[in-house]
Structure 1
Amino acid sequence: MPPRCPIVELRQYTLRPGQRDVLIDLFDREFVETQEAAGMTVLGQFRDLDDPDRFVWLRGFEDMPRRAEALESFYSGPIWRAHRDEANATMIDSDDVLLLRPASPAGGLPAPMGSRPAPGEQAAAPSSLVVATIWYGNAPFDAAFVEFFERRVRPVLAETGGEPLAYLRSEHSPNTFPALPVRTNEEVFVWFARFTGQNHFHDHLDRLQRSVRWHEDVLPPLAQRSARPSQRLRLAPTERSLLR
């Protein structure tokens, strides 16, 4: 079975101080269903717990040509034209974008656990935590690395309470919508895990730190492939995020 959303954007926005909830309110009200009506999937939107001025979100596409069609439809459409000045006023930078694809048929983002609340519905933000870990490689994350991840890395993550729910790698197709830049000339491998809350996540880190297999079987070969230190994003789903 093909993975859900074979093309995924991981988008990290740097916002003006105090503007994150302004953007989230606007985004969740105006930009979810309207983007999906244009042919893309809004997979999740999040508050970065380590940066109060960072908004992170994910959207998916069926393929690169349809990505171009969907983005052209949305960004030339009436909803974006009506609200773009308000949205852009919250932002310092919106160009930190990684273009990704599932690393294997089993690596795609899962189907949502339920439906998102309706626009305007009074709903509390989920208490769950989504963690994205970004590994930067000095060479492509090829099939051999994916096998290494599935056979040696994933089992250790699972037994320490951090079972990956998706794992993706760089998509190097030409950017089919150059009006929105993406980061190029980088090799990344990104895996996502979901935790019930901060205590669950901290327990996972503690167990991982004490894992002999992690230190002997995973970290040394991973260090050989690394171009620079990994990045970890602790992400709190917004009230209307599907991924939660």
Structure 2
Amino acid sequence: MFYEIRTEHARPGRGAELAGYMDETVIPLHQELGMHVVGAFTVIGDEDAFVWIRRFEDAADRERVLKAVHGDPRCAGVAETVSDLTAGTESTIRLEPAPAPHSADPPTRRPADPPTRRTPHLTHAVPRTRTEEDTP
């Protein structure tokens, strides 16, 4: 299992519009097509940045989900709107769970905690309203 922290950068002054579109359109489409979106955030001190965290079981799961999203007939219109709202400077960081501490055995990956409604502890982000728990 791994996570991706993806940051989208809106054109100057369009951060609120981008955040609304991500919350109302982009993330629900991705969730509908099988993506696990752990959370979405705006960044304190950078009103034009939008951060969302995606979880995948493995590389094959990521490929399957992204293929489903990009193959959906709605994707082209959604991508065009995102392109109009963004400055084209997105970034993605991939994270894996850390090995279990204090283990004499070879490192293994810990399973992720189940999603909760607790606010994540991030020093420079404000949680958005939609999480994977909000998806039926």
User: Normalization by structure 1: what TM-score?
Assistant: 0.46
Shift of 1:38: 2.1
> Aligned letter for 1:20?
G
Shift of 1:49: 0.2
Q: 2:41 is matched with which residue?
A: 46
1:103-134 Cα shifts (integer Å, max 9, x gaps): 134473x32224xxxxxxxxxxx9x5631xxx
Counterparts of residues 58-207 of structure 1 (less than 5 Å): 58-104=53-99, 105-106=109-110, 108=112, 110-114=113-117, 128=119, 130-131=121-122
Greater relative contact order (CA < 8 Å, ≥ 6 in sequence): 2
Q: Secondary structure at the match of 1:34?
A: helix
Q: Distance in 1 between matches of 2:13 and 2:129?
A: 18
Q: Distance in 1 between matches of 2:75 and 2:127?
A: 23
1:118-158 Cα shifts (integer Å, max 9, x gaps): xxxxxxxx9x5631xxxxxxxxxxxxxxxxxxxxxxxxxxx
> Aligned letter for 1:236?
V
Cα distance change of structure 1 residues 84 and 12 upon mapping to structure 2, 3 Å threshold: same
**Which protein has the bigger strand share?**
1
Counterparts of residues 210-229 of structure 1 (less than 5 Å): none
Q: Distance in 1 between matches of 2:24 and 2:53?
A: 16
Counterpart of 1:240 (choices 117, 130, 133) is: 130
Contact 1:11 1:94 in 2 (8 A): no
Corresponding pairs, count: 124
**Larger-Rg structure:** 1
Establish whether residue 9 from structure 1 lines up as the match of residue 4 from structure 2: yes
1:83-108 Cα shifts (integer Å, max 9, x gaps): 22111111113441111111134473
RMSD: 2.3
- Give structure 2 stretches of 5+ with no counterpart: 100-108
Cα distance change of structure 1 residues 130 and 242 upon mapping to structure 2, 3 Å threshold: farther
User: Normalization by structure 2: what TM-score?
Assistant: 0.78
Q: Distance in 2 between matches of 1:100 and 1:61?
A: 10
